Amino acid sequence: MSALDTPAGLDVPRHHAFSRFCRAFAKRPAGLAGLGLLVAFGVLALAAPLFIGDDQLNVIKVDGPQLSPPVDGYPLGTDQAGRSVLLLVIWGARESLSIGLIATALTVVLGSTVGLLAGHYQGWIGKILMHVTDWFIALPSLPLAISLSAVLGQGAASITIAIAVTSWTATARLVRAQTLSVEARPFIERAKVLGAGNTQIMIRHVLPNVMPLILVSSTLTVASAILSEATLTFLGLGDPTSVTWGSMLQAAFLGGAVTAGAWWYLMPPGIAILIVVLGFTLVGRAVEHVLNPRMVGR
């Protein structure tokens, strides 16, 4: 009897809270628009291998006109090698989005760990961790990211690491503040009295309460991670063989597309970055508004 009651008793309020959240989110048109843009881009990126093959991406195999403005069959024009800019932008979404998401995951894991530890161990460990965080905040992020990925060598992995190392501080501060407020609640004291250790308190009791906040802030982190990826790739730190929005812009810049006035080659990747970053920002802000009623009017 009681075994049947407990899961239902736990599930129903959570389910209610979730549907209430969804209804509140649905009332924010900007957030919905952002979500729609992201879903559209996600579907395109996932479905890309169905209609784009090596024939359209390999510079040796393509047969289009070189650096041509939009014409029949090439709705967004072509690059220097004769590849369709439209197909390149769709293909670029795959790598750009995945680097953005992986870098965010790394950032969140790093930042939450530091924040959780600094909030839980309030003695010298917490102090040292917060000092380290402050030092990293003071460092200018782009020069640090550039230096790191230059030393680690070109490629997606080094860019991902560089982004994570330069952007974990915001998450760490947020998680620490939230950890402090959760740890002040009576149920933590109860858990301690019942004999819960440090690890158990942090993972079983504090983390679930901090999680929603972490997820919200990570939506905004994705936006800046995608921008950083594009910037670092443009500066020449990316994998030279892969197609991302940043590498398209780098190829266009180095190949003289600017001097040639090839706006059709430059516009699509930039607008794609704009849309995706805007999408993540809008969704992040909408969720923030829903969770924090004090933000009304911002």
Tokens representing 226 are 């995608």
Give how far the C-alpha of residue 163 lies from the chain's centroid of Cα atoms, to the nearest Å. Answer: 10
**Do residues 116 and 199 touch, judged by C-beta distance below 8 A?**
no
Closest by Cα among 224, 206, 216 to 118: 206
- Name which position in 12, 40, 139, 203 contacts another protein (CB under 8 A): 139
**Distance between CA atoms of residues 163 and 281, nearest Å:** 18
DSSP H or E segment with residue 294 = none
Please name which of 276, 275, 245 lies closest in space to residue 91, comparing C-alpha atoms.
Answer: 245
Contact between 150 and another protein by CB under 8 A: the answer reads yes
The correct pick among 161, 191, 227, 291 for binding another protein (CB under 8 A) is: 227
Using the rule CB under 8 A, give the single segment among 39-47, 71-79, 99-107, 260-268 that binds another protein. 260-268
Task: Give least dist CB 138 to another protein, A.
Answer: 5
Q: Among 112, 133, 219, 231, which residue sits at the site for another protein (rule: CB under 8 A)?
A: 231
Choose which of 269, 283, 286, 289 interacts with another protein (CB under 8 A). 269
Of 35, 117, 164, 277, the one binding another protein (CB under 8 A) is: 277
Q: Is 177 an interacting residue with respect to another protein (CB under 8 A)?
A: no
Q: Write down the least CB distance from residue 250 to another protein, Å.
A: 9
- Residue closer to another protein (CB basis): 175 or 249: 249
Least CB distance from residue 141 to another protein, whole Å? 6
User: Binding-site residue total for another protein (CB under 8 A)?
Assistant: 42
Interface pick for another protein out of 60, 138, 193, 194 (rule CB under 8 A) = 138
Which residues face 71 on adjacent strands?
Answer: 74
Nearer CB in complex with another protein: 150/201: 150
Residue 149 φ/ψ region, left for φ over 0, alpha for ψ in the -120 to 50 degree band, beta for the rest:
alpha
Contact between residue 291 and residue 178 where contact means Cβ atoms under 8 Å apart: no
Cα–Cα distance for residue pair 253/279, rounded to 1 Å? 26
Q: 14 vs 298, which CB is nearer to another protein?
A: 298
> Which tokens hold the place of 245?
């929005």
Question: Using an 8 Å Cβ cutoff, are 129 and 114 in contact?
Answer: yes
Contacting residues toward another protein, per CB under 8 A: 135, 138-144, 146-148, 150-152, 223, 227, 230-231, 234-237, 246, 249, 252-253, 258-261, 263, 266-267, 269-270, 273-274, 277-278, 281, 297-298
